[in-house]
Structure 1
């Protein structure tokens, strides 16, 4: 098999491409390869050039529920795109064979979103000694999957709790509410004046609650963490028991990542309520039986991204088939998304450049500071105020 050399970034004039080209100049060009699980969305893919500089991207694996067709075509013109399937990635034999083929005989960095490599990671590391340089995980849900392992079999860099991710998380909350409102307007409805229940008051849930409040929605917040619940109450949000909150809510948005709503909780929804998720369906809901005839629900697709489910004369609307509803509208986040992409590249460079002992790592604060400073310069957010 012929191994091509990493592509050299071409320094453009401005914007995201310039930001990542500038970043790559200070990163080592290693002999490692990388696999990138990623959303394929407009305005979010410029980071691949810098990652390719650090550790040649041997394949891009698009998250199935967040693929913009035009963006995929553009990425596929430069990089190999392989299908991503959680069940297949949980098969150690299959995954070891796949990773060995993509490593090209070199050390391999795995860039993950959602813990896809976690179930089979220990067996894969044992089967491929010295091949897996480490994993970089982007999300809180994915980090939890890795931390549930008895022991980390390789180094794991997490950016899920990085301060550079906080701007993205807040914007995601706004993007989720934007998509909910867009779908409702297509049905001839609006958000103003509704009652909403937000499950989970983490970084994304906080953004969802704030965006709903800004649209004159009455918001009740529930979180199993008493500290977060106290924060929500202190910010003026209502609280209630789960049954009470769901019974009075026109809109329920789940942002827990812990399968907070299953088939049993569907009976708590008021007739005609709207149900939406902030992460993938597998993380947010336990609704595998919803389309099973024995469950007794009749399904009617009102429009793409909105389905009505009826049983015993009562119904609810499910948005985005239970997946993160913001991806129905490409989840545009603006330049803030590039902050955490840059930190992912910095973590990949650390793994590719020098072997690490197995364990959990974070990108050093000084490196985060340099990324933030470059980002400010690239996107001109330091413009002086004018009178």
Structure 2
């Protein structure tokens, strides 16, 4: 639930197809945008456990009055990747397919690639590059704002960026441009080689990357830090994420070894409970740092929202093939059309 949701859902999605429900990411249900959306559409509770349970999902579809109807699942984070085939089999209507909007979601669907229904994504589109860079900019902005609220400046810290994907790459570049010594870690050797070629200190091992960093920004979408990883942090380190806490961290493990103190609603202290005094701080309690300030990135968001609408239209028209080797994407000619419309409207 971000400011753009209150425009995109009713004025975009609902004009293309009937929106039967909006399932908000759990950590965003307290936002004002959620209240506005909930006043217009049903908002069933979303969790990964529920989404992975085909019977529970089908029961909700029927509860929404969708029996014997055609349905598209618009996913943000790979929620239905474990259960899509079973949902399609149990449902008495027709699942036309899934449109996935995020890279970490695509990775979850790619882990299977034996789906009985089409899956299409916009996550790797060139039209998403401006959004990725602006998200990274807003993440760094929010980290700095939180630190200033604690009477600190960003430049006194050394940084490690975990995950050198499209957002992580931009975060690393922005931090370096601000004069902050920044190292990079990624499990993918291709991405790590690119980071090194761009002049970053690139570490193969996670402990090498974060062991001396006083600011760690995680951008993997795939549980970058667990109990062992949190144990590698130096005392006083500040940790931030570019995505949801349930995707980026194993926070449940912290209850076994750390005491939690809320210094500020967006600045949480975790201290080892064995008397060592060692501690670290988690910005926004592990959720996307830029959500602190509304996750607003301006008109560039409409580029990728336009491509999402086109991708959904292709699902409606039955023009998306079932994935065999990779998740489907729009052809360049459709992306050009979206870009041309955006230029005409915004420029």
1:332 maps to 2:332 = no
Report the equivalent of 1:106. 69
Correspondence 1:150-189 to 2 at 5 A: 151-189=114-152
Separation (CA, whole Å) in 1 of partners of 2:212 and 2:109: 37
SS of structure 2 residue aligned to 1:261? coil
SS of structure 1 residue aligned to 2:86? helix
With over 3 angstroms needed to count, the CA separation of the structure-2 counterparts of 1:231 and 1:355, relative to structure 1, is: closer
CA contact (8 A) 1:222 1:242 kept: yes
CA contact (8 A) 2:5 2:33 kept: no
Give TM-score scaled by structure 2 length: 0.92
1:81 maps to 2:48 = no
Correspondence 1:1-387 to 2 at 5 A: 40-48=1-9, 49-67=11-29, 69-102=31-64, 103=66, 105-128=68-91, 131-149=94-112, 151-240=114-203, 241-292=205-256, 295=257, 297-311=258-272, 312-354=276-318, 356-359=320-323, 360-380=327-347
- Per-residue deviation at 1:350? 1.2
> Deviations along 1:268-310, whole A, 9 cap, x unmatched?
2111111112222222122322023xx2x12211000111111
Separation (CA, whole Å) in 2 of partners of 1:164 and 1:45: 21
With over 3 angstroms needed to count, the CA separation of the structure-2 counterparts of 1:373 and 1:68, relative to structure 1, is: farther
CA contact (8 A) 2:67 2:93 kept: no
Structure of higher CA gyration radius: 1
Q: Which has the higher helix share?
A: 2
Separation (CA, whole Å) in 1 of partners of 2:119 and 2:152: 45
CA contact (8 A) 1:41 1:67 kept: no
- Per-residue deviation at 1:124? 1.0
Separation (CA, whole Å) in 1 of partners of 2:333 and 2:30: 35
- 247-256 vs 141-150, which deviates more? 141-150
- Per-residue deviation at 1:322? 1.5
- Per-residue deviation at 1:347? 1.1
Separation (CA, whole Å) in 2 of partners of 1:41 and 1:267: 33
CA contact (8 A) 1:133 1:355 kept: no
> Deviations along 1:33-56, whole A, 9 cap, x unmatched?
xxxxxxx21244322222112211
With over 3 angstroms needed to count, the CA separation of the structure-2 counterparts of 1:358 and 1:99, relative to structure 1, is: farther
Report the equivalent of 1:35. none
Separation (CA, whole Å) in 1 of partners of 2:329 and 2:114: 17
Separation (CA, whole Å) in 2 of partners of 1:226 and 1:356: 32
CA contact (8 A) 2:320 2:328 kept: no
- Per-residue deviation at 1:355? 6.4
With over 3 angstroms needed to count, the CA separation of the structure-2 counterparts of 1:43 and 1:123, relative to structure 1, is: closer
Give TM-score scaled by structure 1 length: 0.83
- Per-residue deviation at 1:68? 6.2
With over 3 angstroms needed to count, the CA separation of the structure-2 counterparts of 1:99 and 1:322, relative to structure 1, is: same
CA contact (8 A) 1:300 1:309 kept: yes
With over 3 angstroms needed to count, the CA separation of the structure-2 counterparts of 1:271 and 1:357, relative to structure 1, is: closer
- Per-residue deviation at 1:356? 5.0
CA contact (8 A) 1:133 1:351 kept: yes
CA contact (8 A) 2:57 2:87 kept: yes
Separation (CA, whole Å) in 2 of partners of 1:355 and 1:379: 29
- The unaligned stretches of length 5 or more in structure 2 are none
- Per-residue deviation at 1:245? 2.6
